[in-house]
Structure 1
Amino acid sequence: MTEFAIETNGLVKTFGDTRAVDGIDLAVPAGAVYGVLGPNGAGKTTAVRMLATLLRPDSGGARVFGRDLIREADAVRSMVSLTGQYASVDEDLTGIENLVLLGRLLGHRKAAARERGARLLEAFGLTEAAGKQVKNYSGGMRRRLDIAASILNTPKLLFLDEPTTGLDPRSRNQVWDIVRAVVAHGTTVLLTTQYLDEADRLASRIAVIDHGKVIAEGTPGELKSSVGRGAIHVRLRDADQRNKAEWVLSEALSAPVQLDADPVALTARISGHETERGAAEQASRALVALAEAGITVDDFSLGQPSLDEVFLALTDKPATTDDEEISA
């Protein structure tokens, strides 16, 4: 029987006339990364704050490892930890001083707090920076320290609210490795993110939220299949033929065609009811139609839709670059 880290039923939160979270139902399996995606203002951060007991729901309910979010809030707090979008450590303290301070606040004796802090700094590749003030850390180092602070007491459930926002690719990869290590040690992670590749690589299941509602949920593969059996990617020899190619593909596939950023590239989605063999046959028809129209194709591929295409199809918006949530 599946154990759920989080179960919500009709969770609602309003701010004035704005319904930031509008009846969210979630079932988050324990022991893995669960991703939450959504455009700006979708309600992701508000939902996380409720589940972390920082905001009280206006209606609906939720349970965290079987404990009621409202009636057993203290028990819930003892099992969870939250790392928000911005580093919560003290910039004037050193890395080890931050961890010792937080360890003491959590009830550890000074020696135990220092020992635990030193082990975490080593695990997160921060030993050499342990004695430096945090204001001299890079963005990636701050995020790693912030996550280290969140697991001084190993939580059963860790909320990571856009943990890699603004980080360079190398730092993002380092944070991803930390997340995988945390899950390997038994912690469940609920991850909100603005990076679709991040959710694709880390999350075993994903919920897409828009206007405060869950509009789709499933594994990355299930979400991709929900908007199409495949995607045809075409690169032309002549950019002047792209408009004609768009029309030919649209007619041949009876599907919308996307003009990519590359001026000679187009992408068309194959309808979801088709079988894999049917998808290949549709792709063949498309190539024949382009050739008969005198359009030269330099490169062609057939693959599963990307999570970016899923996001665009579900929300009618491109992936976001920041997240401006309504807050209390």
Structure 2
Amino acid sequence: MVDGTTAFPAQRVTMTAEQATWYQDTFARLVANVENVLVGKTFVVRLGFVALLSEGHLLLEDSPGTGKTSLARAIAQSVEGSSSRIQFTPDLLPGDITGVSIYDQRSGAFEFHLGPVFANIVLADEINRASPKTQAALLEVMEERHITADGVEHSVDAPFMVIATQNPIEQAGTYRLPEAQLDRFLLKASIGYPDHASTLRILESAGTRSHEVRLDPVIGAQQVVELARLARTVHVDPTINDYVSRLVEATRTATEVRLGGSVRAALALIRASKTLAAASGRHYVIPDDVKALAEPVLAHRLVLDPEAEFDGVTTSGVISQILIETPPPSDRQAV
């Protein structure tokens, strides 16, 4: 029992080594299942599941035809969850995402019809093509995990993850996501084009349309919730917290950066690192977990100085330099 007068929660149970081994095996089976559809993109697939099991959202900035829709559908099928796809256009309204109230003449009352956002995995295709008002409607559900219509709260089911995409090539007629909204995405990644060997494997199955492929589920949706809960119990040494804090602070003092990472960014890096540690079969976080996720978690949260951007500086380059200049902890306390 927790004493209601205590300022801190009861002592948390840390993940055991046996649980970490089981977690690693389950995670590997999920990744292998999705790779039956998305060939040769192990790192991006792992990032997708890290986002899902960290209870976050994923932003993909990529060219058309790289498999973004296939990734979202494959993740949903692997966890036996529902999926939906929303094509963002300039005329898309908030109600087209969240749902609308329709008058029922038989009952003489308005009935709320759930929108496509009420799914376990939601693909928001080309999110920057919709108006800021419509973008905000989706981002509010991402943060709050519910909507309120006619004074009634409607919660999304767990697990819930939004995979949003942006086309980096065509910028005409788009509405750039504000920095505060980009901060809502746990990770940002790019699938990219497959290598030669992977392309040959894809061409061998050219007779099968991607929407015809049906993957067998690896785990159920409720097990995803349990995996997410278990990831939160991964041990984080104080030296790791200090390392993450120093990394995020370095983004604020970098000469090329106008806006650095927030406290939310530091929390996101810790959350994601816990999941990656468990996925690697460890019940504790090591500096390599933080390093592997520093760019996907932090890069999209930075705003570069215009002059630096003009000179060809990128946020990924800034993060890489910060990782070089910020020494990781050399030891850790016992778990």
Name the TM tier (shorter chain): 0.3 to 0.5
More strand by share: 1
Which structure has the larger Rg? Answer: 1
TM-score, L = length of structure 1: 0.37
